[in-house]
Structures are given as structure tokens and as C-alpha cells.
Structure 1
Amino acid sequence: MFCLVLHSHLPWLANHGRWPVGEEWLYQSWAATYLPVTAVLRRLAAEGRTRLLTLGVTPVLAAQLDDPHCLNGMHHWLGNWQLRAHEAAGMPSASHRDLGAREHRASAAALDVFETRWRHGGSAVLRELIDAETIELLGGPLAHPFQPLLDPRLRAFSLSEGLADAEARWGHTPAGIWAPECGYTPGMEIGYAAAGVSHFMVDGPALRGDTTAGRPVWDSDVVAFGRDLEVSYRVWSPKTGYPGHAAYRDFHTYDHDTGLKPARVTGRTVPSEKKAPYDPELAAVAVDQHVADFVDTVRRRLRSESERIGGPALVVAAFDTELFGHWWHEGPQWLEQVLRALPEAGIEIGTLADARARGYVGAPVELQDSSWGSGKDWRVWAGDQVQDLVQLNAEVVQTALDTIDKDRDANHHGFEGDPELRKRVHDQMLRETLLTVSSDWAFMVSKDSAAGYARDRAHKHAHALREIADAVASGRDEVARRLADGWNAADGLFPALDARRLPVRSAETAAFAGSTQ
């Protein structure tokens, strides 16, 4: 059996800059990936095809796809794309006219899909696919924290709130999750079980390379599925993969007059100014070749692994969804053809839930610290380059939890068992804390990808948390409310987040908090 798993995620970008980093990142991914990939799935669903793939959508991305500011910004972005295409089509050179015509067709199609299906939010688009059983939805914790480094109380809160967010958006609570960065440390399976999570993703090396079945983790019934690197890296790896083919559209080369992308890859060492013009027909031939190659790769892998273990094997390939369209322009086209070609080749495809239901579960594994980052350990999120962020995260989390705990104790004057009233100030403190500890900031610093933006974002949310907490701790309740309202106006995501559901402090969590300082 073959399972394709896609992980859809971007950090919270609304109202935090536009170019070169900020909302532009969201709108590019929306236009190039989320619109065409969901269109592919709708077309296949219309043919009666079900259980095609497992799609992870993080709560923070889902929030942006439903956010009125982002929806309005996306509509403007698509209109601007069409205007740029008009500009190119009116230029004197034939290459610009061809580019403009092609981009005009693409932008017009994107605008039509957005205005007819997306204009009032992404939840309805995804719910249609969930309800039709086209996909299995994977959830995740709020704001995408690197969970192994997170205080257990906040880890549990973030996960339970993330699953509740999915239920509110789609009328569906995911049974499986994509753990942010596939990060794991022993004991997390206990929290997963408590939250109702039955399965999650890890990278292949975490299962010592044997990914032919899901594995119950330690003594739990929670199953870890591992990414098959031999198959996954055929498509995309740190060094190679299909998107680097000479015929595909080059991601990095822009026409500076219009901001459009006119060139094909041509060659890895060819400078931008010498790259050949993009030719969709050449790219289509390459897509056909890579579809055939992938089907053959999956078939050979299934056969070899089945022979090795003496029974039916499972192969799981997993990727960031944004690879398909945003980073690799032809990715959605390849995806649609692969999802047709695999069954035609006699290969059974399904979701992770299908794999578990059909018995692709092996012996328990004593899973150790791991991730899908560099080295398959935690260095990207806990290494020397990001020690300042590690310390910032620990301080911010401790400040938030201590302040909320003390304020709860000081203000609960009712009888035992009286309900605790909701406190929006506490909600905003946790909202800013979760935005501070997003795994994206450390990733961007470690990979030197807009590192300054990442550090600025982490410190901005940390500042918001600190000034609200300081007002609460000093008894300036009106100031705290005003500050919380102001920061919530800037970042009003997750309105259902409720600090009353934060687990109470125990001796175990207190010990963890002390160990992280």
C-alpha cells in the first residue's frame, strides 16, 4: 500500500510586512499551491475517487485562509497578478507577449476559482474534500511549536486547542496529526493518547529506516508512521529531485519589469540572465517522465520491501504541500497525474487511517528524540545558532504560566467548584506566547532564510506577552485589558482560544519548567 502525506503550513503572516517577507509569502503559496492542489483533488473527487492522500493543515494556516484581512489581501494580490500579465502582454518583445498571455490565462483562472470557491474562506473548500472522503485530514497544535522543547502544560494546551480549532472549522476532529517538524521526545505519545490522537508522522530514521508499517510507540496504542526517504527523496531532497529538471520553470529568476517568472531552470550553474525562456510543452514532457519514474520507484520499493519482510509492505512518501506549485510550478500537474497513474499501475493507495485499519502496524518501537530537520535531531530548533531563541522561548513560557497561575489564585474567591470566568487577558497572553514559540522562527534563523524577520517576529510577540504580564502582575488590571485588546486587534487569530482550559500546574510540570531555565 502507498500513502502520500502532505503537510500544509505557513507561520502567521497577516499584518506583519508584505515584501520581501510577510503576506507576499502567503499569497504566493495560496495562488501557486492551495488553489491548484484543491482543484486537483476536486476533479478527482468528481470522478468518484476517494481516500487519495493524507493532508495536514496546521491551525495557523487554516486561520489565515479564513481571515477576512487575508482574504481581501489575496483578492488584491490576484488582481495585481493579472495587471502585471496585462503589462507584459503589451510590451514590444515577443517573449514578453508570450509570457503575458500565459500569465493572463493563469491569473484569470485563479481569480475565477478564488471568487467562486474561496472568497468567504478556505474552511468550506477543505470541508468539501473531508466530507467526500477525498482526503484524511491531519491536525496539529496551535501556532506550530516545536513540541519537545515546550513546557508539557503548554504542549497539551496547544494540541487540544488545535484539535478543537479543526472541529470548529470543519466539523471534524482529526484522529491523526502532523507533529510540527516531526519533532518527538519520549512521553509525548501519552499526551497524544490523552488528546485522542491515534497516529502521527515521524521521519524515516526515527524508525531506524524501517517504515514498512506504522509502529505503536512505547507502551501506547498511538502509532507512528515513518516517511520513506528512498521514495520521498526521489521527488525532493536537500540536494536533488524532480523540480530541478532543466525544463521546469525556474523559481528564482524574475522578469524585473513585471515581477513574473519567464525562465526555465536550463541548468543548475546557468546564471539567471542566461536561462532559456520557459516552454510549457517541454515542461509537460518532463512531467510525464517524472510521473512514470515515480510510479516505477514506488512499485520497486513496494516489491523489495515486501520481499524483505516476507509480507505486504507500506510505503509512505511525505512532503510540504507548498512544494507542489509554489516551489515547483509543475507540481500540481505532476500530483494529479501520479494520483491517476498509481492505481492504473495496480498500486493500492490510501490514507494513514486506511493503513492502520488494514493492519499495516508492526511491533512497538521505543521511539527516541527525533525530527525531520537537519541531522534528524533537534539542532535546527535547539542548536548554537538559535540559543537566544531557545532562552527567549523558555523565559516567555515561564512568565506566561507563572503570571496566569498567580492571577488565577489571587482572583478565585468563590466556593470550591465554582466555574472560573473567562479572562481575555489570559487568552491573549497565551496567544502571544504561542506565536513567540512558533518553530518557524528558529528554522528561518538556522537556515539563514530571512533570519532578521524571524528574530523580529519572536521578539515582538515576546514583548507583547511581557508588557501584558507585567500589568497583570502589578495589579494594573485596566492597563492589562487595554494592552491585551490592542495586541488582539493586531493578531486576532484563534478567537476560541480559552485560557481556562490550560492544565493546572503539577509537580511534574513544575520540575520540567525548572529544568528549562
Structure 2
Amino acid sequence: MTVPASDPVPGLFTFVLHTHLPWLAHHGRWPVGEEWLYQSWSASYLPLVRVLRTLADEDRQHLVTLGVTPVVAAQLDDPYCLQGMHHWLANWRLRAREAATTRTASGPSPASEPEALRRFGSRELAEVDRELAEFETLWRHGGSPVLRELIDGRVIELLGGPLAHPFQPLLNPRLREFALREGLADAQQRFAHRPAGIWAPECAYAPGMETEYAAAGVGHFMVDGPSLHGDTALGRPVGDSDVVAFGRDLAVSYRVWSPKSGYPGHAAYRDFHTYDHATGLKPARVTGRNVPSDAKAPYDPARAAAAVDGHVDDFVATVRERLISESARIGRPAHVIAAFDTELFGHWWYEGPLWLEKVLRALPEAGVRIGTLTDAITDGYVGAPVELPPSSWGSGKDWQVWAGDQVADLVRLNTEVVDTALSTVDKALAHAAALGAPGPRMFVADQILRETLLTVSSDWPFMVSKDSAADYARYRAHLHAHATREIADALASGRVEQAQRLAQGWNRADGLFGALDARRLPSA
């Protein structure tokens, strides 16, 4: 018997979005650097907030579990980044206006022919005007108030994480504990909410980390599906702890984001890779998987909207079927989690925010209950304890992306820099304690730890292993390593004033996490 679409299905469905970029301010603009931040902000963060605020105005709550890493939150609040974003939006408007008034072909594809580009530019101009108005009204003084409103309104559950997104299993336990506790404190300061759960960077886990999570007050975290041996129908307490691991359901998640068959590759959607040379805009549609850029057809919003509707129907049907089958398999209502990078929605997949808004409306209409990870715990979607293997959500679901032969030099660099930083800071703290406790903040020690955390960001080995701006990634890792060594060498050799000047100089570029306090570093 076919179940009518409106009949309730058992269980709970959760969207989890992971919002993360490395620290990009003051470190290049194009092709990798601040442009990455501003593109993601305009294409993903503004539209996502628009969708969530629209649904909140309809009295919808518990819609999304949203991870926002401390390094992204820092950039959304940073005065330099806010000014840069405003300038970027204004520049986007100039480029859209140029496209809307073009008289000559300027790009590689039919989408850059004058008439097609004029139509596209007119639509783009209306879009950027809306974003400029939203940015100036809501975002101009920082992203934290915008997100806090959604948290306060119970529209989203906030997930936190450690400072600067390190690959935790490979990190010195002292620095690992420090980064996590400081990251949770950073979220408390920005949002007046201390996250109960985290998105562990890269979903990376090593046995025993659940004990550290429990000590830091973390009650749940995300892993990839294979970490739970593919059985993601319930959250699972890890080992002897009460800390719950939730797994991404790959059968559902890959329906959206799969290199071979995911929705964003549909012929009707806007093509991410094809630019109009004169304006830097993206006026073409995918057209076909094997169609070269110079043959891409003009973007057609009506064609794209029809594809969105089809993919909404497909996803809703997929979620319903998965909840029914998983509930039957385990003999109780099941929990299904679809988890993605936030930047997929809008930045990589232009139509993603519209699809998400429609899905969040369509699922309840189809009898599917939506809730957050905290809702899942509260409502008992938790099974028997499990022992997790060392794992991640990277290639092979192990640690090879961050610890393989291709990045062995970065692993050695990280170990060396962390050892230098901890040794230097320990001595400085011991010296200060000998003069009488509690001592004042130690700006130099703070900056040493700040640069160290930027050095060990998981982004750099990821970008190298994936050959995605690998030269930039290595440059950034070695730059922050140099900063750490330079300040630490001056301090260790007694050149305190020089160490102070060096720390101040590096802080002008890397002044994020102003509340970071080296005095809270766990003792050796």
C-alpha cells in the first residue's frame, strides 16, 4: 500500500550545516584570500539567514543545527572584514551594472553574448541591491547579533568548535584542550550561548576524545556515517561517557552532494566555473557535464526553478523512505541526519538556498518532523554505547588527508611549532608566576598561541592533499609558523621588547580571538 504523502512518518530528520573558512583577512585577495570570504558571505551566509528569518516569521522553529566555527564568527564580526565586505558588495553592483548595459561580447560562452548578458546583469543588479540593503540593515555591525537572534528564537541550534579549526587527533592534547575550551568561550561571548554540541573539525575523532569533550561540557558531536559502521539511525554514547556521537546519513546526504549524481550538477543550474571575463560574473548554466565553457548556454531562472522543484520532491521522498525503512530496521523511530558544508548552499550551488527553503517547508507537509540534534537527545533518539574508530569525513574516512605522505612535511612542521610554542609559553608563565600570581595578561604569549593555532589549521593540509590552492596553503602554514618562531625566539632569548614589537606587528594581521588568554593554557 502506498502511503499518502501527507501521512506522518516515524522518526526525526535533522539538517546539520557546517560553516567554515580559514582566517583570510589580510592574507591575499585573489584568487585565494579575502575574495573567498566575501563570495561565501554574499552567496551563502546572507541568503541562508534570509531563508531562516523568512521561515521564523512563519513561526517555524528547530529548523537547522548550524555549526559556526570560531574563525568564521571572528571574520563576520571583524571591522576590517565588515568594511571589506561592504566594498565587495558595492563592487559587485558595479559589475552587475556593467553587464546590464553591455554592448559587446566579452566571455567564452553564448552566455556572454550582449543580449544574454544584459538580461543576466539586470537580474544580478536586483539581487545585489537586495543584499546591500540587508547587509547595511542587519550585518553592518557584525554577524553575531544576526545569528544570536536566530538562536534566541530557537530557529537554529548552534554548534561550536575549537579555535582555528585544528585537526584534533594530531594535536598536542594540551593545545587541543585549550583550543576547544577557548572556542566554546568565544561562542559564549559572541552569542550569549555556550554550544552544547560541536562539529568536530573534519569530523575527526581519536579514541578518548569523548572524555575531553565531557570535561569541556560538550554533550554531542558529529562524525561521518562510516565511523558508526554505517548505522546512523540513532545517536550513540561513546565508550563509557554520556557524550553522544551523531553520524551523517550518507544515503541521504549524497543525494544532494555527490560528485557523480548530486543535484548541483544538473544542466539547468548556474555553472560555478564559467566566468564572463569582463565582469567576473557567472552568467552560464551547467548545460551538460561534458560541455566546455565556451559552449555553455545562458542561465535561465525559470528552467532552474523547475529543476529545484523536482529536486525538492526527490529529496522529500528520499527522506520519507529512509525514515520508514530505518525505523522498520531498528524496530523504533529512527533519526536521519543530512549534513553539508554551509558554503554548498549558494556559493557552490547557486540555487541551494532556494532549495533549502522549499525543503524546510515541504518536509513537514509530507509528514516528516524536523528537529535539531538537541531535540534528538531530548526525545530519546539515542541507542546503545559504541566504540568509535579513528576516523574523519575525508577521503577514505581515515586521517590520510591530514597525515598522509603528501603532507608529511606539514605534520612535522606542526609538531615542531607546537613544541616551540608550548615550551616558550610555559617558561613565560612560570616566570610570571614566580613574580606573584595572578599576573596580568601576557600579550606576547597570547600571540604565540594565536599564530600556533593558525599554523595547525586543518585547512592547509586539506588544500595540499586535494591540490586546491596548495601553494597558498603551504605559504600560510609556513607564514604562521615563522611568526610563532620569530616571537618565541625573541622572548626565549630575553629580548622582551623586541618580542612585544613582533607580537604587535603580527597581531595587526592576525588579531582574531581577542579574548584568547595564554594563562588558561593547561599545565604540562
**1:475 maps onto 2:494 in alignment:** yes
After TM superposition, give the deviation of residue 490 of structure 1 in Å: 1.5
Q: Which residue of 2 aligns with 1:183?
A: 204
After TM superposition, give the deviation of residue 95 of structure 1 in Å: 1.1
Q: Which residue of 2 aligns with 1:318?
A: 339
Q: Which residue of 2 aligns with 1:46?
A: 57
Aligned partner of 1:83 among 94, 101, 111 = 94
Q: Which residue of 1 aligns with 2:108?
A: none
Aligned partner of 2:451 among 425, 428, 432 = 432
Q: Which residue of 2 aligns with 1:491?
A: 510
**What SS is found at the alignment partner of 1:348?**
coil
Q: Distance in 2 between matches of 1:247 and 1:378?
A: 36
Q: Which residue of 2 aligns with 1:514?
A: none
Q: Which residue of 1 aligns with 2:373?
A: 352
**1:17 maps onto 2:28 in alignment:** yes
Letter of the structure 2 residue corresponding to residue 457 of structure 1 = R
TM-score (norm 1): 0.97
- 1:272-311 superposed matches below 5 A: 272-311=293-332
Letter of the structure 1 residue corresponding to residue 261 of structure 2 = T
Q: Distance in 1 between matches of 2:409 and 2:61?
A: 46
**Is contact 2:17-2:65 (8 Å) kept?**
yes
After TM superposition, give the deviation of residue 421 of structure 1 in Å: 2.6
**What SS is found at the alignment partner of 1:412?**
helix
**Is contact 2:432-2:439 (8 Å) kept?**
no
Q: Distance in 2 between matches of 1:479 and 1:89?
A: 54
Q: Which residue of 1 aligns with 2:109?
A: none
**1:110 maps onto 2:121 in alignment:** no
Q: Which residue of 1 aligns with 2:468?
A: 449
Residues 270-300 of structure 1 deviation map (CA, whole Å, 9 limit, x = unaligned): 0001011100000000000000000000000
Letter of the structure 2 residue corresponding to residue 503 of structure 1 = P
**1:34 maps onto 2:45 in alignment:** yes
- 1:78-477 superposed matches below 5 A: 78-92=89-103, 93-414=114-435, 418-477=437-496
After TM superposition, give the deviation of residue 90 of structure 1 in Å: 1.1
Residues 156-183 of structure 1 deviation map (CA, whole Å, 9 limit, x = unaligned): 0000000000010010000000000000
Q: Distance in 1 between matches of 2:510 and 2:428?
A: 23
**What SS is found at the alignment partner of 1:136?**
strand
**Is contact 2:205-2:391 (8 Å) kept?**
yes
Q: Distance in 1 between matches of 2:99 and 2:429?
A: 61
Letter of the structure 1 residue corresponding to residue 73 of structure 2 = A
After TM superposition, give the deviation of residue 472 of structure 1 in Å: 1.0
Q: Distance in 1 between matches of 2:398 and 2:180?
A: 22
Q: Distance in 1 between matches of 2:261 and 2:135?
A: 33
Q: Distance in 2 between matches of 1:224 and 1:290?
A: 29
Over the aligned positions, Cα root-mean-square deviation in angstroms equals 0.8
Residues 435-492 of structure 1 deviation map (CA, whole Å, 9 limit, x = unaligned): 0000000000000000000000000000000011101111111111111111111211
After TM superposition, give the deviation of residue 335 of structure 1 in Å: 0.2
**What SS is found at the alignment partner of 1:350?**
coil
**What SS is found at the alignment partner of 2:67?**
strand
Residues 98-125 of structure 1 deviation map (CA, whole Å, 9 limit, x = unaligned): 0110110111111111011001110011
Letter of the structure 1 residue corresponding to residue 60 of structure 2 = R
TM-score (norm 2): 0.95
Letter of the structure 2 residue corresponding to residue 11 of structure 1 = P
Letter of the structure 1 residue corresponding to residue 20 of structure 2 = H
Letter of the structure 1 residue corresponding to residue 514 of structure 2 = P
Q: Distance in 2 between matches of 1:376 and 1:209?
A: 12
Identity %: 74
Q: Distance in 2 between matches of 1:388 and 1:374?
A: 19
After TM superposition, give the deviation of residue 144 of structure 1 in Å: 0.2
Residues 181-220 of structure 1 deviation map (CA, whole Å, 9 limit, x = unaligned): 0000011101100100000000000000000000000100
For structure 2, the residue ranges without an aligned partner over 5 or more in a row are 1-11, 104-113
Q: Which residue of 1 aligns with 2:9?
A: none
After TM superposition, give the deviation of residue 414 of structure 1 in Å: 4.1
**1:62 maps onto 2:83 in alignment:** no
Q: How many residues align?
A: 503
Q: Distance in 2 between matches of 1:240 and 1:424?
A: 51
Letter of the structure 2 residue corresponding to residue 13 of structure 1 = L
Q: Distance in 2 between matches of 1:404 and 1:91?
A: 59
**What SS is found at the alignment partner of 2:377?**
helix
**What SS is found at the alignment partner of 1:481?**
helix
**What SS is found at the alignment partner of 1:173?**
coil
Q: Distance in 1 between matches of 2:350 and 2:442?
A: 46
Q: Distance in 1 between matches of 2:151 and 2:341?
A: 19
Q: Distance in 1 between matches of 2:359 and 2:175?
A: 40
Letter of the structure 2 residue corresponding to residue 31 of structure 1 = S
After TM superposition, give the deviation of residue 89 of structure 1 in Å: 1.2
After TM superposition, give the deviation of residue 238 of structure 1 in Å: 3.8
Q: Distance in 2 between matches of 1:258 and 1:333?
A: 25
